[in-house]
Amino acid sequence: MKNKIIVLALLISTLSYCQHGKTGFVAGVSNYSTKTDLLSSKSGIGYYLGIINTLDFNEKSELQVEIGVSKNFVTFLGRDDELGEPKEAKFSMTNPIVNAFYNYSFFENDNFKLGINAGPSVSILYEYKPVDDISDEFRIDPLLVEPFYLEFDTRNEVISINVFAQLGLSAYYMDSFVFNLRYFHGITDPYRNAPIVSVIDINGKDSYFLFSIGYLL
């Protein structure tokens, strides 16, 4: 509960700081992947919901800030017991996110603009929860990790904060609809907070693609 209160306070303070320019809503779909020597995984499709606030510098450039929540899905390869046959199990992770990026429009006509954007992204909280029904003896390959070890923040009683670099393309229509296709590359190692790190030396990085559609009021 304490972690959630701190996260909420952080998002509210960020939003109050960004109340300049146009405001709107955004929704999108993501393809999230995690690469680590701790887990065998496949990327999964998730979704993203948030609010947008923009600050125009001139006709071609602007700063855009998004505050949202993403729900990502990843499939892990494991087995019902140490000698069992390999099987796949889906897990989910929900994260509050703050995105800030500079957008430059390199082409425009009366109703349409194309641009490129780049900037940092901050993801808060890091915990995987099983979506599929799994047995109490389920273990994740290749190190036969117990699923509860993926509840990083609950086990450590910390708030995980991870930083991404984002780069993408944008399209505006009628100055009201905005379309973004962005790639997020992990800068920090989320597995530094894994409860099992005290037993096994591990590391990894996350990355994902996000396609979003926004509407500016």
d(CA 31, CA 43): 6
Cα dihedral sign, 139-140-143-148 = negative
Residues linked to residue 72 through DSSP beta bridges, in sequence order = 93
Question: pLDDT value at position 199?
Answer: 63
| Domain 2-216: assigned CATH number | 2.40.160.20
The proportion of the chain whose per-residue pLDDT surpasses 70, expressed as a percent, equals 89
| Higher per-residue confidence, 64 vs 203 | 64
The per-residue pLDDT for 198 is: 59
Is the Cβ–Cβ distance between 74 and 55 less than 8 Å?
no
Domain extents in the chain: 2-216
Q: What are residue 202's phi and psi, to 5 degrees? A: -130, 160
Return d(Cα 102, Cα 199) in angstroms, integer.
41
- Of 10-24, 66-80, 137-151, the least confident: 10-24
pLDDT at 197: 61
- For residue 4, pLDDT over 70 is answered with no
Q: What is the mean pLDDT of residues 53-77?
A: 91
Predicted confidence band of residue 142 (pLDDT cuts 50, 70, 90): confident
Write down the pLDDT at residue 8. Answer: 46
The mean pLDDT of 6-35, rounded to a whole number, is 71
Position 83 scores a pLDDT of 80
pLDDT at 18: 46
**Residue with structure tokens 């990327």?**
43
pLDDT higher than threshold 80 for residue 75: yes
Max mean pLDDT range (3-7, 12-16, 83-87, 182-186): 182-186
Q: State pLDDT tens for residues 77-129.
A: 999 887 888 999 999 999 999 999 999 999 998 889 999 999 999 999 999 99
What's residue 20's pLDDT? 53
